[in-house]
Structure 1
Amino acid sequence: MSSGSQPTAEGLSGPRVTQFSIFLSNRVGALLDVVKVLNERNIHVLAISVQDSADTAIVRIVVSDPESVQQIFLEHAIPFSICDLVVVELKEGATELGRLLAALLAAECNIFGSYALITRPRGRPALALHVEDNECAVSVLRSQQFTILSQSDISR
């Protein structure tokens, strides 16, 4: 192997944070059942978004240990999908939202979904973004002095 190291997955497309989209029946307690299964394994939900309909709900979560969650969901027959998010620290809080959105608009980077983290990494608010092009979003936001957080930044 050459003296240069291989690029990591994080180096190729920027910091990654995994989002799980869980498909649940729309019944009382369904979400609690999932959270209990995770908490029993000392895994915490760090961010959550719920979209429900008459029969089903799609719950999008970011967790403290995504590597373990996939296997847990398979063991418990919980249907899910995975995608990568861009998580942005808002050093000045909510007042930076307009600047963040303007930067993504200028780069024509579409936002498919967004939600705040329950936790406050480094004591500051953070926003999870599901965007059309993660590399573009990371590059543009970094050029505007936003801090992009990785899974290790937000996990305990």
Structure 2
Amino acid sequence: MSSIGEGNAIDYQTARGRDYPAIRQFTVFLENRVGQLLEVVRRFEGTGLRIVALSINDAAECAFVRFVVSHPERAREILERAGLSIIETDLIGVELPDTSQPLLHVCTALLQAEVNIIQAYPLIPRPNQRAAVALMVDNIDLGIETLRAKNFRTLQESDLLGEEE
């Protein structure tokens, strides 16, 4: 009988940090008023943080702004100090293959593993100019494992830092 953890792979659910094989998304709830998004974006001015992905879902009373930043720990501190209601979620960042239908290959791989895509949006181009998407899925560990097994390059937080960092 082996001891706990002996010979086992890293449990992604307990390993967190720049080498965690996922990226973090923040969802901020804003009043549906003119200028609210600008107020949030301005909070990152002069901090060295970059917004690398953005999605906005508008409703009658509020808007749900989802974004990924280059330094999530600092972003969380800034948003909490501002008193904003936030939710943190792990996403899979994946570079798209250089084919005529790159999303077809990503979706097919996840479907074969029965991993459901809940949300998807593009990541702003990175220094190597490869297109990439952020995916929220119903089973992140299986999704990452599946994409890596199919030779997709998944992104982690350190990939979002940019050349200058």
Unaligned runs of 5+ in 2: 1-6
Q: Which has the higher helix share?
A: 1
Partner of 1:61: 67
Residue number in structure 1 paired with 2:55? 49
- Paired positions, count: 151
Question: CA separation in 1, counterparts of 2:41 and 2:69?
Answer: 10
- 2:23–2:93 contact (8 Å) kept in structure 1: yes
Amino acid at match of 2:108: A
Instruction: Tell me the equivalent position of 1:102.
Output: 108
Q: Which residue of 2 aligns with 1:73?
A: 79
CA-CA distance at 1:81 after TM superposition: 0.6
Distance in structure 1 (CA, Å) of the matches to 2:66 and 2:99:
23
Runs of at least 4 residues of structure 1 off by over 2 A?
119-122
Q: CA RMSD in A?
A: 2.3
Q: 1:155 is matched with which residue?
A: 161
Which range is displaced more, 88-97 or 72-81? 88-97
| Unaligned 5+ runs, structure 1 | none
Tell me how far apart the structure 2 counterparts of residues 15 and 36 of structure 1 sit (CA, whole Å): 29
Aligned to 1:119: 125
AA aligned to 2:93 is: V
Residue 122 of structure 1 deviates from its aligned partner by 2.3
- Any idea what SS the aligned residue of 2:88 has? strand
Measure how far apart 1:83 and its partner are: 0.8
Instruction: Tell me whether 1:134 sits opposite 2:145 in the alignment.
Output: no
Code of the aligned partner of 2:98:
E
Which residue of the other structure, out of 5, 15, 20, is the alignment partner of 2:26?
20
Q: Which amino acid aligns with 2:158?
A: S
Q: Determine helix, strand or coil for the equivalent of 2:45.
A: helix
TM norm structure 1: 0.88
Q: Assess, with a 3 A threshold, how the Cα gap between structure 1 residues 147 and 41 changes in structure 2: closer, same or farther.
A: same
Q: Is the 8 A contact 1:87 1:128 kept in 2?
A: yes
The one-letter amino acid paired with 2:47 is R
For 1:91, what is the secondary structure of its paired residue?
coil
Q: CA deviation at 1:120?
A: 2.5
Q: Distance in 2 between matches of 1:125 and 1:103?
A: 18
Give, as a single letter, the amino acid of the residue that structure 1 aligns with 2:104.
Answer: G
SS at match of 2:44: helix
Alignment of 1:28-47 (within 5 A): 28-47=34-53
2:91 to 67, 76, 85: 85
Q: Is the 8 A contact 2:20 2:157 kept in 1?
A: no
DSSP-derived class of the 1:127 partner: strand
**Identity rate, percent:** 39
1:121 touches 1:153 (CA, 8 Å); kept in 2?
no
Residue 62 of structure 1: how far off its partner (Å)? 0.1
Q: What TM-score, normalized by structure 2, do the two folds share?
A: 0.84
